[in-house]
């Protein structure tokens, strides 16, 4: 063959793991009572008709709470991939250079566990 040639070849392979947390809906509810801000009678007894639940909220005086914490489930997959390419530059003469090449990539089916 006449002319000069330059040949380049390379390959790579690897693996990736993907995943994202599933939203399972954790929630919380708090209740506030007027008893925390209620007044007292002259005898020292709590007067239940006084006070304000919103004022208890502003003070952070929680009367009761219910918390539902669902576990966050992690799910994901592992992908294996491989790729390769070949490139050939062939200068046939001073006016003609052929640049030839090819590439291939493959990704195998994900593996979940």
The whole domain housing 90 covers 1-19+77-113
- Do 64 and 81 have their domain in common? no
The count of domains in the chain is 2
Are 83 and 110 in a shared domain?
A: yes
Q: pLDDT tens digit string along 71-88?
A: 655 566 777 888 888 898
Q: Same structural domain for residues 51 and 83?
A: no
Could you tell me if 32 and 48 lie in one domain?
yes
Q: What is the DSSP string of the chain?
A: --SEEEEEEEEEEEEEEEEEE-----EEEEE--GGGG--B-TTS-B-TTS--HHHHHHHT--SEEEEE-PPPPEEEEEEEEEEEEEEEEEEEETTEEEEEEEEEEEEPPPB--
* Residue ranges for the chain with pLDDT beneath 50: none
**Co-location of 42 and 60 in the same domain:** yes
């Amino acid at each position: 063959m006449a002319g000069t040639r330059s040949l380049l070849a390379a390959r790579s392979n690897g693996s990736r793991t993907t995943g994202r947390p599933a939203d399972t809906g954790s929630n919380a509810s708090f209740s506030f009572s007027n008893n925390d801000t209620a007044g007292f009678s002259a005898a020292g007894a709590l007067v239940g008709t006084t006070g304000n639940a919103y004022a208890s909220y502003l003070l952070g005086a929680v009367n009761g709470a219910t918390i539902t914490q669902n576990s966050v489930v992690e799910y994901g997959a592992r992908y294996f991939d491989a790729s390769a390419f070949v490139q050939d530059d062939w200068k046939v003469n001073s006016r003609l250079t052929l640049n030839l090449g090819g590439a291939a990539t493959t990704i195998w089916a994900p593996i979940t566990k």
